[in-house]
A = this chain, B = another copy of it.
Amino acid sequence: MRYGAMYGPDVTFLGVERCALAEPASFAGADVVIVGAPYDGGTSHRPGTRFGPMAIRTTDYLGHNGSRPSLALRVDALKDLRVLDAGDVEMYAGDEMESHAAIEEAVHTITASGAIPVVLGGDHSIALPDARGVARHYGFGRVSMIHFDAHADTGDIEFGHLYGHGQPMRRLLECGAIRGDRFLQLGLRGYWPEPDTLDWMAEQRMRSYEMTEIVTRGFDECLAEASAIAMDDCDGVYLSVDVDVCDPGHAPGTGTPEPGGISARQLLDAVRGICYRLPVVGVEIVEVSPPYDHAEITAALGNRVVLEALSGIARRRKDAESGHTWDPAQPLLDGR
């Protein structure tokens, strides 16, 4: 029994095949299982991410045909991989605990089956259940985190609660699912969190790249350094992408936009590169909020983040078999 969609019609990511988490046979042998987490009960400001999964799944001007051949990577991830869509997990906004438990269970089920979970948020509070669901399978501390965000999301208490969208990373460290010294953050900026939280982060030996460092040293260098840390004594990487890492000009449709972010091009290249170079074991794209979007540009970006991640994974597997290495400078039509 498939739950389907929490809001709107039951559609899949660009037309890929359906599966049901309650029916293990339906996703046996899958490489990737997409699941929607339409939850915005953890949002501290502008809501609307409950419509993120629907928007990320469907915002594309091309046919919804389960095929997306990447020009850059020369793979068709939706076909070269077995990608299924499990629909949404029911996540009632007013019940955080139950909602988080449900998505954690879903992510763990997918991971345990051998597939990579790709979670479509939803607000960032789901990073806690998402990453914990993965870590329960690989072992606490065995999966590193690469986290793109304008915000550290390491707050302690907000509105009197522990599990909102500004706190999941703290909880992940506290419960041991992710090691502090394998927690990489890129794109932070602005005026939050406050210094004692930063002190706590430093104590955990987290590595957080604020935009000033990124601009000064260069994004590529920071990314390379972070990737190296992520792969030191870890078995896999969990990739958490908060769309607000991009500048609001590129991603207006989000809840807590912080001016001065990276460009959409930079994010897409980074996601692609990480999924191509590192053993990614889980992906989430969060904080796409359609009510605040314009001309669907943020939803389209969310859709492309998923596709770049999948294409990177597909090319990684292909190259692992063939022994080739991808050359980003190769002209599009060369070698055809």
Chain A residues numbered 184-240 whose CB sits less than 8 Å from any CB in chain B: 188-192, 194-195, 198-199, 201-202, 206-213, 215-217
Chain A residues numbered 140-196 whose CB sits less than 8 Å from any CB in chain B: 159-161, 163-164, 188-192, 194-195
Q: Given A9-B9, A192-B62, A71 and B210 touching (CB < 8 A)?
A: yes
| Pair B253/A250 contact, Cβ less than 8 Å | no
| Pair A336/B11 contact, Cβ less than 8 Å | no
Interface residues of chain A: helix, strand, loop or mixed (majority) = loop
Within 8 Å CB of A300, what residues of B? 248, 257-259
Interface string of A46-80 (1 = CB under 8 A from B): 11101100000110011010011111101010000
A199: contacting residue among B40, B99, B336, CB under 8 A: B336
As for how many copies of this chain the complex holds, the number is 6
A264: contacting residue among B6, B247, B296, B301, CB under 8 A: B247
CB distance from A228 to the nearest CB of B (A): 15
Chain A residues numbered 29-53 whose CB sits less than 8 Å from any CB in chain B: 40-48, 50-51
Known: A7-B45, A212-B329, A257-B296; 20 extra A-B contacts, CB below 8 A, are: A9-B57, A41-B94, A46-B291, A47-B93, A47-B291, A48-B291, A61-B255, A62-B191, A67-B194, A69-B192, A71-B212, A72-B211, A94-B161, A212-B328, A213-B329, A248-B250, A248-B301, A252-B294, A261-B264, A291-B291
**Taking beta carbons and an 8 Å cutoff, which residues of A are in contact with B?**
5-12, 15, 40-48, 50-51, 57-58, 61-62, 64, 67-72, 74, 76, 90, 92-96, 98-99, 125, 159-161, 163-164, 188-192, 194-195, 198-199, 201-202, 206-213, 215-217, 247-253, 255-261, 263-265, 268-269, 291-297, 300-301, 304, 307, 328-334, 336
- Nearest first, the 3 A-B pairs at minimum CB distance are A94-B96, A41-B94, A45-B61
- Contacts A/B (CB < 8 Å), 13 sampled: A5-B64, A9-B12, A41-B41, A61-B255, A68-B191, A93-B93, A190-B304, A198-B336, A201-B336, A249-B251, A259-B297, A261-B265, A293-B295
